[in-house]
Structure 1
Amino acid sequence: MADVIVDPGVPPQDARVLRRSRRVLIKMRQGWAPKLWRPSSGLHYWMLAAFGPAASFGLLLSLGLMSPGLAVLLLALLGLPLVMLRLGRNDVSTEEADEYAFERQAFAQLRWYEGRYVLADDLDEPAARLLARAQRAIATVSGSRINAEGLLDDVRNAVMLPAQEWEIARLLAKLSALRAQHTEVISLGLTPGVAVVAEPLARALSSSEAAVLARVEALERYAANVAGAERAYLAHHQIEELRSHVHHYEELVAETGADAFAVPELERLAADAGRLEQSLRRSLSSAHEAMRAPASTAPTAAAAERSPSSP
C-alpha cells in the first residue's frame, strides 16, 4: 500500500514529492518545522575555511609583523588539517544540504495541498484492508497486457482508476476518524438518553462503510473481468502461434503416414482457436461493461460521506 495517496488533480511533480513525504508529515504533526538556517555546501565550507587564515596571514605580512617564510610555514601547517577536515565533511555536508532541501520542499507542499492527500497510517484496520483491496484491483487492471495494448479503454482507465483510488482513500480516512471518535465516546459508557443519539450515528458509520465497500467490490468485479480477458488473450496468442506452425505438422504427418490420426486433431485445434477468439471478444465486452460500474457508485459514495454527520 502506498504510504501517501494523493489527489490526482495535484500536478505530477508536486504529487511525487507528497508521496515521498510520509516521514516529514509525521514530524510536522509532532510540531516540527524546517530550520531557518541552510547547511553549508562542501564548496562554501572550503572557501570559508581557507579564506580566514589566508586573510589573517596576508594582513600580518602587509603590516610587517610576519616574515614570508613563517607565513608559508603556518599556512602549510594549518592547511593540512583543513584539507583532511574538508574531505571528511564533503559527503556529510552534501547529504545534509540535500536532506534540508527536500524537507523544506515537502513541508511547503504538505501545507499547500492540505486536504488533498491521505496518509495510509491514518486509516484504521478495516479501512486499510478496504483500501488494499481497491489498490490490488487497480493494479490488476493497470498492469494487464490488454490494457497496455489498448484493448481496454486505456485513456479512461488512466483517469478513472487514480480518481477511484483517491475517492476511496479520502472517504476511508474520514470514516476512520469518525469511527475513532465514536468509539472513544461510547467507551466511557452510555446513558439511555445518549444511546438514543449514538445508535443512529453508529448506523450512519456502518452504511458509509457499506457504500465504500460497494465501490471497492465494483472495482474488484472490473479487475476480475480484466483478468479473465487477459487469460483468454494470452491463450489466444498461444493458439495462434501453434496454428502458424500447423503446415509443418501436416507435412510431418503426411511423410510419416499418420494422417488418419493427426488430421482430426489439427481440425480440433482450429475449432478450439475459433471458440477461444469468441470467448476473448465476450471477455473484453464484459470488462468494458464492468469498467462503467465503479464510476456509477460515485453518488452513493458521496451520500456515504454525508451520512455520518446526519443524526
Structure 2
Amino acid sequence: MDPRALPPRLVIDPTLHPEISVELRSSPHILRMARSGVRVDTTKNPALLFVIPALLMVLAVATGVEELLVPGVGIGLIVLFRWIALDGTYRSTRRRIRSAQVHANRFILPEDLDYPCQRLLRRAQNAVEAIMASRVHRDGLIDTIDNRVSLPEEVWQIAQRLRKLSAMHAEHGKIVPRDLPPGMEDAFKPYTTALDAAWTSLSHRVRHLEKYAKQVVKADKVYHAHRRLEALAAKTPEYQQLIADTVRDELAHERIRELADQAAHVRKLFEESIAQARLAAGELIKTPLA
C-alpha cells in the first residue's frame, strides 16, 4: 500500500515533558477514551472487594461463632489476590485517562482530522521521516535548521492548524445550505474563500517539507556513492599502476588523469547536493508557522 494513503500517526506536542509524551504515545486507546469524554468511575474501586470478608470476620469475633472466621479468611485471601490483579490496572487506567484529559490539547489523533487533512498530515510526516532516516542527517551534514527540534515542531504546528481547519470545515458544512437561494452565493463566498486560503497555505507548507525531503534523499544517494568512491580512492595508485602496465602509452596518461579527476567530480556533486538540501531547509524556515 502507498504510505501516502495510510492514516497519519499520532502527533504529540514536542515541548511536552518526555515522560508524559512517552506515556501518551504508549496508550492511544486511552487518548481516544479521553477525547470521547469518558470519566473515571470512582465507584468501582477494587478495594471495595474487601468489605464482605471484613464483615464476616468482624461478625465472627463479635458473635464468637468461629465457623464464620474460616470462610472470612478464605474469602479474604481470594479477594486479596483479585485486588492485587485489579488494583494496579485500575489505578494505571485512571491515572492515564486523567493525564490524557489534562493534556487533551497537546496531542492530535487521526480521527481529529477530516480525510483531506489526514492525507496532508501524513505527507508531512512521511517527508520528516525520510529526512530523519537519511545518512546525511545522522552524520550531521545537513542540520542547518536543527532537524531534531525544528521538524517535530513543524509537524506539530501543521497538525494543529489542520485540526482547526477540519473543525471549521465540519461547522461550515452544517451552517451553509447546499442549495443557496439565488443571489446569496456571494454572501457566503468570503467564508469559503477563507477556508480555501488556509488549505492552500498549509498545502504549500507541506510541499516545502517534501521538497526538502527530496533534496535530502538525493544528497543521501550521492553521499552513499561518495563513501564508496572514497574506499576506491585509497586504491587509486594500484589502478593507476595497472593501467600504466597494460594500456598503450598514449591512452595510459588519459586513463590515469580520469581516475584522479573522478573523486573530485563526485565530491563536487556531493557538495552541490548538500547545498541544495540546505537551501531547501532555508526556504522552509523563511515563513515559520510557529
Q: TM-score range by the shorter chain?
A: 0.7 to 0.9
Contact 1:4–1:20 (8 Å) recurs in 2:
no
CA distance in 1, matches of 2:54, 2:246: 94
Partner of 2:30: 24
CA distance in 2, matches of 1:38, 1:292: 56
Q: 1:240 to 1:49 in 2, by over 3 A?
A: farther
Partner of 1:215: 205
Q: Secondary structure at the match of 1:240?
A: helix
Contact 1:6–1:15 (8 Å) recurs in 2:
yes
How much does 1:130 deviate? 0.8
Q: Deviations over 1:177-227 (max 9, x none)?
A: 111222233355322464333211111111110000111011111111111
Residues 230-249 of structure 1: pairs in structure 2 closer than 5 A: 230-249=220-239
Residues 141-290 of structure 1: pairs in structure 2 closer than 5 A: 141-153=131-143, 156-192=146-182, 194-249=184-239, 257-260=245-248, 265=255, 267-290=257-280
How much does 1:240 deviate? 0.8
Q: Secondary structure at the match of 2:265?
A: helix
Q: 1:273 to 1:18 in 2, by over 3 A?
A: same
Contact 1:118–1:173 (8 Å) recurs in 2:
yes
Correspondence 1:9 to 2:15: yes
Q: 1:15 to 1:56 in 2, by over 3 A?
A: same
Q: Pairwise CA RMSD of aligned residues? A: 3.7
Q: Deviations over 1:227-247 (max 9, x none)?
A: 111111110000111122334
CA distance in 2, matches of 1:89, 1:248: 76
Q: What one-letter code is carried by the residue in structure 2 that aligns with 1:8?
A: P
Q: 1:204 to 1:235 in 2, by over 3 A?
A: same
Partner of 1:306: none
CA distance in 1, matches of 2:265, 2:88: 59
Partner of 2:96: 106
Q: 1:132 to 1:29 in 2, by over 3 A?
A: closer
Q: Deviations over 1:29-74 (max 9, x none)?
A: 4442122267659xx98x99999989988x59xx6x77xxx99xx9
Contact 1:137–1:223 (8 Å) recurs in 2:
yes
Q: 1:251 to 1:55 in 2, by over 3 A?
A: farther
Contact 2:212–2:277 (8 Å) recurs in 1:
yes
TM-score w.r.t. the length of structure 1 is 0.74
Q: Runs of 5+ in structure 1 lacking a partner?
A: 303-311
Contact 1:134–1:216 (8 Å) recurs in 2:
yes
Contact 1:53–1:75 (8 Å) recurs in 2:
no
TM-score w.r.t. the length of structure 2 is 0.79
